[in-house]
Structure 1
Amino acid sequence: MAGVRPYGRFTHAVVRGVPGSFGKTAAEGDAAGDAQTDLAKAQRQFGVLTGALRQKVGLQLIEIPPDPELPESWRIEDVAVIQGETALVTRPWKQQRRSEAEAVRRVLSELNLTVVEMGDEEGGSAGATLEGSDVLFTGREFFVGISSHTNHRGAEVLADTFRDFAVSTVPVYGGTRLKNVCSMGGPDTIIISSSEGAKKTLKMMEQLTDHHYDVLTVPEDAAANCIYIRGPSQVDYLLHPPADECPNSAAAFQKLTDYTLLPTACSEAVKLGGALSSFCLLINRKPQL
């Protein structure tokens, strides 16, 4: 398949700083529900995550400055789906969030990726909404969660963009996003929450795929979102919520004995429906000749 590279191999991470408006929504700057967030703590957690990606895993970090006018822009995962040399710039469900893509688009272009736009509301993708936190790429195929943020038309646009891969849609229960209840823990392993909604989603994924995946079940939803990276010297890294955030899941992660485990706090993001992966876009760039 064109553009396919070993799963989990990344060279760059694009992140966007936590703005002073963290905890507000993109719609009129209102507070995000009843969540009581701690800005300083969120910024510290962001710093630890980016430090781990740069210093421990060895990725080249590209940081877009925070923008207080875009309170949800720290959720950079939502605005692009990247595979190989192609980046699909998505259309978030909230109209107010769509301008978040401008700075991300510039960075992706500077990295010489082929940038594909979902298009204008009046074009062929009219009515499509797609957020990257609803997209799980396994290395073999895409699963797209149909949620309050992502619809079937958005999944169709993704399938049209990445034609080398099968794209299956699965329901997301409980008003969350797909990657709030599952993530990849390696080339053949899906990490998934033990909640009833997550079990239903996993059952659908298993019915739709032609591939076999091992499953690592964790008791807490927040623990199901991890970041797997195949690092230099064939080291498997797994960034995951720490025991003080997800105490019941600590034993499950210890089963990954061949991994370098990097506990990384994300509790402030979780309060707003985010997760570890919300903070970054991972990219694998070929060496330039």
Structure 2
Amino acid sequence: MAAFRYTHAVVSRLPNSLENQGNIDIEEAKKQHENYVRLLREIGLDVIELPPDESLPECVFVEDTAVVCNGTALIARSGAAHRTQEVETIRVVLKKELGLPIIEISDAQARLEGGDVLFTGREFFVGISQATNEAGARAVASAFPEYPCTPIKVPESKHLKSFITMGGPDLLCVGSGKEAQEVLKRMEREATFSYGIIILPEDEAANVLYINNTLVHRSVEEIPLSVKVFSEKIDYPRRPIKISQLASKSNGLTSSCILVRRTRHLRNL
């Protein structure tokens, strides 16, 4: 499906200041992030790496700053004041380096973070959470009117992609836990299209990346039961990777990149 064919990824290197957030081995996190970036390149993506910003400890989690679809970027609007500069940095990269048309959210009351936005290739689901509100969901619908867009209530402290992501064309990956299953039921009630579903024993396994006919998921050391399910259910290439340190602070695999389909050759910053 063309919706999951990508040419570029935007990532940010890990700042040492993330360690001040606690509960993270910063050196191991850096190694995992380096392997993550290497894997994106091996899958065929041209990766733009931004330098780490020590004043922005969460800058590695670029997913929240924008929603990119069909060559257009909707700039997110976080309610967290300390993340405003992250958004400004990504706006410049998407506009000047990638040459993408930029859409700004005009509603001052809107709140939107990219980790709450799931694009299935056919429609959008937007998690209504602590970070994203109904006005934010309306901004996604307005930016991409060619697709249905449905708001979905999720537990406030988590993003939608903590519970469910795309594991392939028309294929949802979702955890087996109570909260994840409740989110899935809401999506199934509201969905415009029908999807296949893989239910995973470990909830944290549900955050995957499907890029250019390759499924990127967490390593067998981190999700042993779910890796077995993937091996039984998925018949296209799979690439496992360790992401435990970054996942302790974020959605996991999706949170550390913005995926873009673009033809122009780009350079690293």
**Coarse TM-score class (shorter-chain normalised):** over 0.9
Q: Single out whichever of 265-274 and 164-173 deviates more from structure 2.
A: 265-274
TM-score calculated relative to the size of structure 2: 0.94
Structure 1, residues 191-227: CA drift from partner, whole Å, max 9, x if none?
Answer: 0011111111111111111211000111112100000
Offset at 1:175? 2.2
Gaps of 5+ in 1: 25-30, 119-123, 231-235
Offset at 1:286? 3.9
Within the candidate set 105, 111, 124, 2:98 is matched to 111
Pick the structure with more helix per residue. Answer: 2
- Kept after mapping to 1: 8 A contact 2:61/2:250: no
Q: Single out whichever of 105-114 and 37-46 deviates more from structure 2.
A: 105-114
Partner of 1:166: 148
TM-score calculated relative to the size of structure 1: 0.88
Whether 1:217 aligns to 2:194 is no
Offset at 1:92? 1.5
Partner of 1:58: 44
Partner of 1:83: 69
Give SS of 2:239's match: strand
Distance 1:251 1:210 in 2: 31
Partner amino acid, structure 2, of 1:141: E
Offset at 1:128? 1.0
Change (3 A) 1:59 1:161: same
Partner of 1:18: 14
Offset at 1:174? 6.1
Structure 1, residues 136-187: CA drift from partner, whole Å, max 9, x if none?
Answer: 0000000000111111111111111111111001111262110011110111
Aligned residues: 264
Distance 1:244 1:93 in 2: 35
Distance 1:190 1:41 in 2: 30
Partner of 1:102: 88
Q: What does residue range 1-289 of structure 1 map to in structure 2 within 5 Å?
A: 6-24=2-20, 31=21, 35-54=22-41, 56-109=42-95, 110-118=97-105, 124-173=106-155, 175-230=157-212, 236-286=213-263
Distance 1:196 1:189 in 2: 20
Identity %: 39
Distance 1:215 1:129 in 2: 29
Partner amino acid, structure 1, of 2:94: L
Offset at 1:287? 5.8
